[in-house]
Structure 1
Amino acid sequence: MSTLTSSRTRPSEHAAEPAAGFVDLLAAEWIKMRSLRSTYWVLALSAVVAIAINVNAVRSDLTYIDQPHPPLPGFPPFKYDPLFHGLGSIAADVMALAAASFGAITVFGEYATGMIRTTLAATPDRRAVITAKVALVTAITLVLGVIVSVTSFFTTNAMLASRHVGLSIHDPGCLRAVTAYALVIPVCALIGMAFGAVLRHATASIVAIVGVLFILPMLFGGERYRFLKEIGNHLPLAAQGRLALNPDSNVSLGEYPATITGSWIALAAWALVSVAIAVIVVRRRDV
C-alpha cells in the first residue's frame, strides 16, 4: 500500500525543470562550435594568412619607397599610402570569405546533420536559440577582426617607421580605418548566417556568399549611372574600403563618391537586416 501511494505521488513531487537561460544557450552553442575543430582552425589560419598578406605587401614596398620618384606631368607627386597597403583589400577579402562561411555553417550545419531537432526539442524558443548563435558568431568574428586589423596596422607601420612614412593611430582616418577593417568581418559572418538560414545547403550558401560579396560589386561599378554606383558604394566590402581610405592620399573617388556616414550606415544595415532574416526564417520555417 505504501508502495502504491509513493508511486502515485511521485509525479507531483517532481519539480518542473527550469527553462534554459541565455547564458546556457551561449554555452551550448560554444560547445557545438568548439567540437568542430576544422572550423576554428580555418578561422585562425585565415587570420594568419590575412596578416601575412598585409605584412608582405608592405615589406615588398620597402625597396620601392627607397627609389627616387620624379614627378610625372599631369600626376600628383608620389606619396606612399600605409593604409592602402597595410590594410589591403585582398586580406579583407580572405577574412570576409572565411567569416561568412563560418556564419553560414553554424546554421546550415545543424540542419544538414539533424542537430537542429535536438536543439529545438531542448529549447523550443527558436528566437532565443538563433539569438544566442548570432551573439556568439558576432563575438568570435569580431575578436578575429580586431586581431587582424590591429596587428596589421601596427606591424606594417612599425616596418615603415624607418622610411618616415608610417602612421600613428592618432593620425587622421587611421582609427576609423582600423575600426572598419575589424567590423566588416562580423558583418560578413552575419550575412553568411542569413544565407545559411534561408538556403540550408552548404554549396548554395557558399555560392550565394561569393556572389554577394565578390561578384555583385562587379555589376555596380563604373560611373555612368548614378543609382548603380550608389548601390555599389553600399555593398559591405565597398563600404569598408571607403571607411579605410586615407584622407591624405591622392586616390580619386570619382563620380558619386560614397560618404563616411553612408558607409557606416551601410555596414550597420547589412548586419541588422542579416540578423532579422536569420531570426525570422528560423522561427517561421519548419525544421
Structure 2
Amino acid sequence: MAAPSAVLQSEWTKVKSVRSTVWTLASALLVTVVISGLICLLIASQWQNTSEQDLRNFDPTNTSFAGLILGQLALIVFGVLVVTGEYSTGMIRTSLAAVPQRATFYLSKVAVTGALALVVGMATSFLTFFIGQALLGSHSTSISEDGVLRAVVGGGLYMTLMVLFSVGVAMMLRSPMLSLGILMPFFFLVSAILANVPKAKTVAQYFPDQAGSKVLQVVSTGDARPYGPWGGLGIMALWVIASLIGGYLVLKKRDA
C-alpha cells in the first residue's frame, strides 16, 4: 500500500519533469498579464473617445483581467495534459500498478495540480491587477477599495477551478484531442455565443465560466445575473466537483 506522502511526491515529480506542463502554466501567466496590460494601455490612450455610458459602466478591476479569456486556453491545456499525458504514453499502467488504491492516486493528482494552479493563479491575478492599474493611470482603482481585493483573490480561485474542471473532464475522456476538442469550443465559442443570445442567456449564465467570472466584477451595472460574486464562484465550484467525481468514477470502473 503506497503512502499518501509518497504518492503526492510522485505526482509532483511527474508535473515538474514534463516540460509541456510547465510551459503551459508559464504561458497562462504571460499571456494573461501581457494581453491585459495591452488592453489597459489602449483604454487609457483612448479615454477621451470613450462614450459617457461606457465611462459610467467602466470597471477598472475587471478591465485588468481582460486577457484572462486567452490565458484560460493555457490553463485548460495544463489541466488536460496533467491527466492525459500518462494515457498517451501508456505510463498510466505503471502508475496504477505502483498505486493500486485509485482514490489515493486520483486525489493526489488533483491535490498537486490544484495546489500548483492556485499558486500560479494567485500570482497571475495579482500581477495582472497591479500592472493593469499602473497602465490605466488616473483611471485606475486601489486594492483597498470595496470589492477589489475580493475580485483579485477571486481571479486566482477562478483560474484554479478552471484547471480542476479540465482535470475532471480529461479523466473521463482520457484523450487529449477529445478533451481539448470539447473544452476549447465550449469555453471559447458555445459559452460566449449563448451568453449573448437573449433566449439562451438564462441558461448560459449558469455555465462554469460565465458564473465564475462574476467574481471578477466590482462594477456590475447592467449585469442582471441572479447571483453575487461568491455565488457565481460557488456555481462554478459545483461544476468542478461534478467533473472531478465523474473523473473518479471513470478511473475506478475502467481499466487503464
Q: Residue 239 of structure 1 contacts residue 266 of structure 1 at CA under 8 Å; is this kept in 2?
A: yes
The amino acid across from 1:141 in the alignment is A
Alignment match, 1:253: 223
Structure 2 residue 174 is the aligned partner of structure 1 residue 200: yes
Alignment match, 2:255: 286
1:40 Cα offset (Å): 0.4
- List aligned pairs for 1:160-175, cutoff 5 A: 160-161=136-137, 163=138, 165-175=139-149
- TM-score norm. by structure 2 comes to 0.90
Alignment match of 1:44 (pick from 14, 26, 29): 26
Q: Residue 27 of structure 2 contacts residue 74 of structure 2 at CA under 8 Å; is this kept in 1?
A: no
1:230 Cα offset (Å): 3.1
Rounded to whole Å, the distance in 1 between the matches of 2:58 and 2:190 is 30
1:68 Cα offset (Å): 7.1
Structure 2 residue 65 is the aligned partner of structure 1 residue 87: yes
Deviations 1:106-146 (A, max 9, x none): 22211121111111111110110010000011111111111
Alignment match, 1:7: none
Structure 2 residue 98 is the aligned partner of structure 1 residue 122: yes
Alignment match of 2:195 (pick from 197, 200, 221): 221
State the aligned residue count. Answer: 255
| Distance 1:135-1:70 versus aligned 2 partners, 3 A rule | closer
Structure 2 residue 31 is the aligned partner of structure 1 residue 53: no
Alignment match, 1:212: 186
Rounded to whole Å, the distance in 2 between the matches of 1:171 and 1:262 is 21
| Distance 1:76-1:109 versus aligned 2 partners, 3 A rule | closer
Alignment match of 1:107 (pick from 83, 93, 96): 83
> Which ranges in structure 2 are unaligned for 5 or more consecutive residues?
none
| Distance 1:77-1:169 versus aligned 2 partners, 3 A rule | closer
> Which ranges in structure 1 are unaligned for 5 or more consecutive residues?
1-18
1:182 Cα offset (Å): 1.2
Rounded to whole Å, the distance in 2 between the matches of 1:181 and 1:34 is 24
Deviations 1:144-190 (A, max 9, x none): 111111011112223334x2x32111212212211222112121111
| Distance 1:87-1:21 versus aligned 2 partners, 3 A rule | same
Q: Residue 187 of structure 1 contacts residue 270 of structure 1 at CA under 8 Å; is this kept in 2?
A: no
Alignment match, 1:184: 158
1:104 Cα offset (Å): 1.4
Alignment match, 1:9: none
| Distance 1:96-1:148 versus aligned 2 partners, 3 A rule | same
Alignment match of 2:11 (pick from 22, 29, 49): 29
Q: What is the DSSP-based 3-state SS (H/G/I as helix, E as strand, rest coil) of the residue aligned with 1:234?
A: coil
Alignment match of 2:107 (pick from 131, 137, 144): 131
- Asked which structure has the greater CA Rg, the reply is 1
| Distance 1:188-1:167 versus aligned 2 partners, 3 A rule | same
Which runs of at least 4 in structure 1 moved beyond 4 Å after TM superposition? Answer: 68-71, 75-80
Q: Which of 196-205 and 229-238 deviates more?
A: 229-238
Structure 2 residue 194 is the aligned partner of structure 1 residue 231: no
Deviations 1:209-237 (A, max 9, x none): 11332233145334643xx4232112222
1:82 Cα offset (Å): 1.1
Q: Which of 238-247 and 50-59 deviates more?
A: 238-247
| Distance 1:219-1:50 versus aligned 2 partners, 3 A rule | closer
- TM-score norm. by structure 1 comes to 0.81
